[in-house]
Amino acid sequence: MRLTPLIPCFLMASMPFTAAAYPHNSAGRFTQKQLSDMVSTAVQVQLKSDENDHSVFIYHDHDVQPGKNQYAIVVQTASHGTIHRITRLNGHAIPLAQQKAMVERFVHSPQLQQKQRKNDEHDAKQVAQLLRMIPKAFLWTVQSQTPRDITLSYKPNPNFHPPNKEDRVFAAMAGEMILDRKQHRIVAFQGRLIHNVNFFFGLIGHMNKGGTFSVHCKQLEPHVWEIVSTRTHINGHVLLFKTISQNEDDYDTAFKAAPQNLTLQQAAKLAMRQPDWPNTPASKSASAKGKKSKPSKSF
Q: Does residue 7 belong to any structural domain of this protein? A: no
Q: Does residue 174 belong to any structural domain of this protein? A: yes
Q: Does residue 296 belong to any structural domain of this protein? A: no
Confidence of residue 81 (pLDDT cuts 50, 70, 90): very high
Q: Does residue 141 belong to any structural domain of this protein? A: yes
Give residue-wise pLDDT tens across range 86-98: 999 999 999 999 9
pLDDT at residue 170, as a whole number: 67
Q: Does residue 269 belong to any structural domain of this protein? A: yes
Confidence of residue 246 (pLDDT cuts 50, 70, 90): confident
Centroid of chain to Cα 156: 22
Q: Which of 6-10, 84-88, 228-232 has the lowest mean pLDDT?
A: 6-10
* CA dihedral (158, 161, 165, 167) positive or negative: negative
Percentage above 70 pLDDT, the chain: 77
| Mean pLDDT over the full length of the chain | 81
Q: Does residue 53 belong to any structural domain of this protein? A: yes
Give residue-wise pLDDT tens across range 14-49: 333 343 344 444 445 799 999 999 999 999 998 888
Domain range enclosing 166: 25-291
> DSSP class of residue 80?
S
Q: Provide the number of structural domains found in the chain.
A: 1
The Cα–Cα gap between 60 and 286 comes to 9
Exposure string for 254-271, b = 16+ CB within 10 A, e = fewer: bbeebeeebebebbbbbb
Give residue-wise pLDDT tens across range 125-164: 888 888 888 998 999 999 999 999 999 999 999 888 877 7
Please say if the pLDDT value at position 167 is more than 90.
no
Q: Does residue 8 belong to any structural domain of this protein? A: no
> DSSP class of residue 10?
H
pLDDT at residue 240, as a whole number: 55
Give pTM, 2 decimals.
0.78
Residue 170's SS3 state is helix
Exposure string for 125-147, b = 16+ CB within 10 A, e = fewer: ebbbebbebbbebbbbebeebee
pLDDT at residue 129, as a whole number: 83
The Cα–Cα gap between 290 and 279 comes to 16
Please say if the pLDDT value at position 166 is more than 70.
no
Give residue-wise pLDDT tens across range 178-226: 999 999 999 999 999 898 877 654 555 677 888 898 999 999 988 888 8
Q: Does residue 235 belong to any structural domain of this protein? A: yes
Q: Which of 25-39, 83-97, 235-249, 268-282 has the lowest mean pLDDT?
A: 235-249
